[in-house]
Structure formats: C-alpha cells, structure tokens
A and B are shown apart, each in its own frame.
Chain A
C-alpha cells in the first residue's frame, strides 16, 4: 500500500568504476549546491519510507512539498561517525565518588548470558551525567570513530538511556510471565 511516493534524485551515480567529479557528499544530510541540482523524478514504488539517496547525498523529500534549497539538510550535520564493534547494556549498582560500578550484559553475543561487573569513571559518560543514578540503564559501545577524512580510531561511548515508562502491554506481559513463573514452581 502506498502512502506516498518518494522523490528520488535521478540516480546519476557513478558506475562501479566511474570516477565522478568531486561532490560535496555526506552520508547523512547534505544539500546539493545550486550548480548541481538534481533532476527529480517521481518513483512510484512503495518504499516510501526508505531514505532516498543519490550520488549527491542522502536526502529526504516529500512529494507534496518539495523543499526549497534553504530547507534542505545542513552541511554542518555530524561529520563524525561511530560504528560499534561490541555493545553492552549496563545497570548501575553503586556510585562512589567519581566512579560507578555496574552489571553488564554483552549484547553482541546473544549466547553469552553471563553478567559481567564493570567499574567506570563518571567523566567517561558521553551524554547527560545527571542521568546517572543507582538502577539507571546505559549502553557501552566500543567501536571505530571515523572522521570525515577517513581516519579512524578505536573509541567508546557510554550513553545513559532515557527510557520511556513501561507500556500497558509490557506491564501485562510481565504480569503474565510472573504468573507463569509462579505456576511453574512445584511446591513440596
């Protein structure tokens, strides 16, 4: 079912060999400059959720209201990319001065159910340190930080999650699981 059609820039992409003239391209959101406007065409396929991409940049456009140049995405979009190699979910156990300890679950290896214990420096928290409290949930990602120049370094991110409240469905499912667990206990 089509909800809308996507407008894609005509795919003037290079062939797997063809070397194009330098373009101001970024994988996220980069505009075309005025001298390099794409020939837009409507593609009526039903992948209208996809991120449209063309040789000159990844762009999102609406069929209803094609955007003027000034509304397109910024060249100041994040230029750095951080790609994870391994990721853990952590639960804060204790906070001691500028350190905190946490139980960690390895998310990269689904077979590894073992809890690991880690100690971290509060200064290493990548987002809002005020989210740190006992029981708080965070993610640690180890991966490559990649600069726009292409240079990369191993790095890590500690991000405390801004978790939504439990939904009714989640609460119901938890109650159901708890009831099943209780019923499965065989009393002597």
Chain B
C-alpha cells in the first residue's frame, strides 16, 4: 500500500538561446506538434520578444530567451518527450541548447501533521541538532517546528551522462499546507563540456529520446522510496 499522489506533474526544461516569439500555439500546430483545435483554444498569457507563456489543456509552455519549459499534469508523460524531440530534432535542430532537465513533481496528502512530521524526522532527525533539537519538538498547542526542506544530490556514478546530476528534494507542500509533502526530482544533463558544436537542438532531441522514459522511471522509483518511509 502506498500513498496516492494528490497532484502529479512532469516537466522538461532546457537552457540555451531561444527566440520566444517564435513559439506560438499556431506555429506549433503548423508544424504538427499540437492539434489545430488545441492551438485555437490555447490560453495565451503573453507572446512577445521576451517571453512566450501559454497553456493547452494538457501542458503549460514558458519560453524565455534563455530557457524553454514545458510542464504537464496529465499522463502519459511521453507527450512531453514526443513534442520536444520533434521540435528540436526536426524543426529547430540548430537551436543552441546547453543543458536539459527532466523533472518529476508530486504532492502527497499524508492525512495529518503527525504523519508528515514522522517523515520529516526520518529524513532529518532532530537528535543531531543537540540541545536545540530538543526545542524543536512540537506540543499539542503549538506545531511550528520541524523539517523545512531537504535535498540529496547525486553527481557521481552516473553512467548515462558525462556531466549532470540528479537531485531529489522533499519539503512540505504549500498546496496541502497541513499535511502535504512535495517531492521533486531534477534530472539534469549537460549536453557537452565546453564544446559548442554539441550544444544544439539535434543533440538535445537525441538525449531526450534516449533518456526521458528511463529518467521518469528512475524518478518515480526515488519518489516511491521516500514515500515508502511512511504508510497510509
């Protein structure tokens, strides 16, 4: 038995040089990346030289001159892979892209404060904090102490990349303030080490095609492992 997510998202984030005004819903539809109907019903926040920010029924786009970001709350997550691989592999293969993040974000509701604090105590016990740790105990009247945020980073033994890391972060959920936990996994890939010829859309697309689903599977396993520390 495991907790069922209260909210679940997946995102691909790229660092590079982008032209935000290019990425309109109509342009995505024209290039067969989304449906024409989706393009027509897109909720456009802003399309300008500085930013393209809009949402479809299944994804949010935010493109600035230095980053391209797409996030979805609706599985199957592979849609993010297909769109970015087609976009950067076929349509803008020469677009400068330096780094890629494949991210998974999940909120859980644990049911009560005590369960959330129990998880916090497992991940970061109060005891090593010495005498001050004793003062971090909550009372029935006052519940205002405990773990605020914790992150663990893997930057070694990553056989699937030369440069990059995996970072997992656990913190209270602001969406479910009383009993929620927010777990994120940031799977970060540098496309090259100071070799600009490799920093392009084509290589980014190839990396995403190869790594995306492996990354999601690994992230879900990491998140499951953390959540297995507490039982519903």
Q: Which residues of A contact B (CB under 8 A)?
A: 1, 3-4, 11, 13-20, 22-23, 25-29, 46-51, 53-58, 60, 62, 64-65, 67, 70-74, 76-78, 80-84, 87, 127-128, 139, 141, 143-144, 146, 150, 152, 157, 159, 161-165, 167, 169-170
Contact A82 B15, CB 8 Å, known A14-B174, A25-B174, A150-B6: no
Using Cβ atoms and an 8 Å threshold, which residues of chain B touch A72?
45, 53
**B119→A50 contact, CB < 8 A:** no
CA distance A2 to B30 in the complex (A): 35
**A47→B186 contact, CB < 8 A:** yes
In the A-B complex, the 5 residue pairs with the closest CB atoms: A49-B101, A16-B146, A16-B120, A83-B8, A17-B143
Determine whether B50 belongs to the interface, using a CB cutoff of 8 Å to chain A: yes
Contact A65 B57, CB 8 Å, known A48-B15, A83-B8, A165-B90: no
Determine whether B4 belongs to the interface, using a CB cutoff of 8 Å to chain A: yes
Determine whether B95 belongs to the interface, using a CB cutoff of 8 Å to chain A: no
Determine whether B69 belongs to the interface, using a CB cutoff of 8 Å to chain A: yes
Give the residues from 1 to 46 in chain B that come closer than 8 angstroms, CB to CB, to chain A.
4-9, 11, 13-15, 32-33, 35, 37, 43, 45-46
Q: How far is the CB of A98 from chain B (nearest CB, A)?
A: 20
CA distance A128 to B8 in the complex (A): 23
**A58→B178 contact, CB < 8 A:** no
Chain B contact surface mostly? mixed
CA distance A78 to B76 in the complex (A): 15
Chain A contact surface mostly? loop
Using Cβ atoms and an 8 Å threshold, which residues of chain A touch B77?
84
CA distance A150 to B205 in the complex (A): 35
Closest residue of A by beta carbon distance from B187:
A49
Using Cβ atoms and an 8 Å threshold, which residues of chain B touch A164?
82, 85-86, 89-90, 205, 209
**A62→B75 contact, CB < 8 A:** no
**A146→B8 contact, CB < 8 A:** yes
**Contact among B66, B85, B99, B147 with A16 in the assembled complex (CB-CB below 8 Å):** B147
Further 20 A-B residue pairs, CB within 8 A, beyond A19-B143, A70-B45: A3-B15, A15-B172, A16-B116, A17-B117, A17-B143, A28-B71, A49-B15, A53-B105, A53-B171, A54-B174, A62-B64, A73-B55, A78-B59, A78-B60, A78-B74, A83-B5, A141-B75, A144-B5, A150-B6, A162-B32
